[in-house]
């Protein structure tokens, strides 16, 4: 394999298209706590990106036996054999070490290191047991919760109610992303491999190329998503924000538009004519963008338009550019 193509394969292995969103979520927590130093915000963002790489590369490593069951995923670096499996382990460890190094060198307090450790530990537990233990999605959601607190702890450990509310919202966001969206898009090969995911355990299956979604799974999904939305509505009532009782008509309008998009795409998940993985991923992408944007928009009264713009634009452009370069598509990466 040519060196250029090999480099591309290693980059694909890191699943970088979502890395900026992970970094931006951590950045959000620092901003909520009042951090405005550009250099420190950049370090917080990079640690978030490195944590993303650690968790997702390790996930590629541990899920190889399942991914090999799918014809759709045959071009993934480890599945195709273009990258040796042990190299994925090395890359994950390297990303983790870099994250620790930046944290210890930059932030003198022990607390950011503790929260980073908890985030990587929970992410690692999910990677190894996510397809084997039902309900293990709480571990990857827990990893998001702790990496969010990592960002906040780089400023102070005197967390406000707002920090806790948004960190719990992040927990439910990732829980939905992994248990619901991930479970639906992978249901074909997860079923074949006997994976014990939330979706398979709650009865979701493919019958004659049609996806059958049970009432139990639908109830679980709606409960998780409504909890996420309720938390951000509550965020808007916090004294630092006071969005819903203000005259911020533009911000309120944007929040309502995003909620409408979330509900429309959520409806689409439950009414597919048949199982079309790429179509599902496209809907998931739109849904995730709208659900994530709800955070920066509601936080505008606290962090301002400039930082809210950064939190929204950087992940979106990063996502699009990565997809164009790596997969020659805008919204459907090979995941």
The tens digit of pLDDT for each residue in 154-164 reads 999 999 999 99
Tally of CB atoms within 10 A around 314: 16
- Position 277 scores a pLDDT of 65
Statement: residue 145 has pLDDT above 80? yes
Question: Average model confidence (pLDDT) for the chain?
Answer: 90
| Confidence tier at 126 by pLDDT (50, 70, 90) | very high
Note if the pTM is more than 0.85: yes
Domain annotation covers residue 285: yes
- Report if residue 308 sits inside a domain: yes
Q: What percent of the chain has a predicted confidence (pLDDT) above 90?
A: 63
Please determine, for residue 186, whether its predicted confidence score (pLDDT) is greater than 80: no
Query: Is 333 contained in some domain?
Result: no
Q: What confidence score (pLDDT) does residue 59 get?
A: 93
Closest CA to 84 of 68, 62, 61: 61
Report the alpha-carbon distance of residue 21 to residue 14 in Å, rounded: 14
In a domain, 265, yes or no: yes
Quick check: 333 pLDDT over 80? no
Instruction: Please report whether residue 85 resides in a domain.
Output: yes
pLDDT bin (cut points 50, 70, 90) of residue 335 is: low
Write down the pLDDT at residue 274.
57
* pLDDT tens digits, one per residue of 209-243: 778 888 999 899 999 999 999 999 999 999 999 99
Is residue 285 very low, low, confident or very high in pLDDT (cuts 50, 70, 90)? confident
Backbone phi and psi for residue 206, each to the nearest 5 degrees, phi listed first: -105, 125
- For residue 211, the model assigns a pLDDT of 80
Structural domain boundaries, residue 128:
3-327
Q: How many C-beta neighbours within 10 Å does residue 242 have?
A: 13
Write b or e for each residue in 174-199: b if 16 or more Cβ atoms lie within 10 A of its Cβ, otherwise e: bbbbbbbbbbbbbbbbbbebebbbbb
pLDDT over threshold 80, residue 1:
no
Hey, is 205 helix, strand or coil?
Answer: strand
Q: Does any domain span residue 335?
A: no
Query: Is 334 within a domain?
Result: no
Number of structural domains the chain divides into? 1
pLDDT, average across residues 295-312: 97
What is the DSSP secondary-structure string of 88-124? HHHHHHHHHHHHHHHHHHH--SSHHHHHHHHHHHHHH
């Amino acid at each position: 394999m040519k060196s250029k193509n090999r480099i591309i394969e290693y980059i694909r292995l890191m699943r970088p298209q979502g890395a900026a969103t992970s970094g931006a979520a951590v950045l959000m927590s620092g901003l909520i706590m009042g951090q405005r130093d550009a250099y420190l915000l950049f370090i917080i963002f990079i640690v978030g990106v490195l944590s993303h790489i650690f968790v997702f590369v390790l996930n590629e490593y541990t899920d190889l036996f399942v991914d090999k069951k799918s014809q759709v995923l045959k071009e993934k670096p480890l599945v195709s054999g273009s990258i040796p499996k042990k190299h994925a382990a090395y890359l994950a460890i390297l990303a983790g070490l870099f994250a620790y190094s930046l944290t210890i060198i930059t932030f003198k307090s022990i607390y950011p290191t503790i929260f980073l450790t908890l985030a990587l530990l929970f992410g690692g537990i999910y990677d190894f047991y996510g397809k084997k233990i039902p309900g293990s999605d709480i571990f990857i959601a827990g990893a998001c919760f702790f990496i969010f607190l990592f960002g906040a702890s780089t400023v102070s450990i005197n967390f406000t109610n707002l920090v806790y509310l948004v960190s719990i919202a992040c927990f439910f966001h990732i829980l939905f992303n992994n248990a619901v969206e991930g479970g639906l898009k992978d249901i074909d090969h997860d079923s074949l491999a006997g994976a014990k995911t939330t979706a398979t355990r709650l009865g979701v299956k493919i019958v004659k190329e049609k996806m059958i979604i049970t009432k139990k799974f639908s109830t679980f999904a709606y409960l998780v998503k409504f909890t996420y939305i309720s938390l951000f509505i509550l965020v808007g009532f916090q004294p630092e924000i006071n969005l819903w009782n203000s005259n911020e008509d533009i911000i309120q309008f944007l929040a309502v538009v995003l909620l409408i998009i979330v509900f429309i795409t959520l409806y689409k998940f439950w009414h597919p004519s048949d199982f079309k993985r790429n179509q599902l991923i496209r809907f998931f992408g739109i849904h995730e963008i709208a659900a994530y944007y709800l955070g920066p928009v509601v936080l505008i009264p606290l962090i301002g338009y400039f930082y809210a713009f950064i939190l929204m634009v950087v992940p979106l452009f990063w996502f699009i550019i990565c997809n164009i370069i790596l997969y020659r598509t805008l919204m459907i990466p090979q995941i």
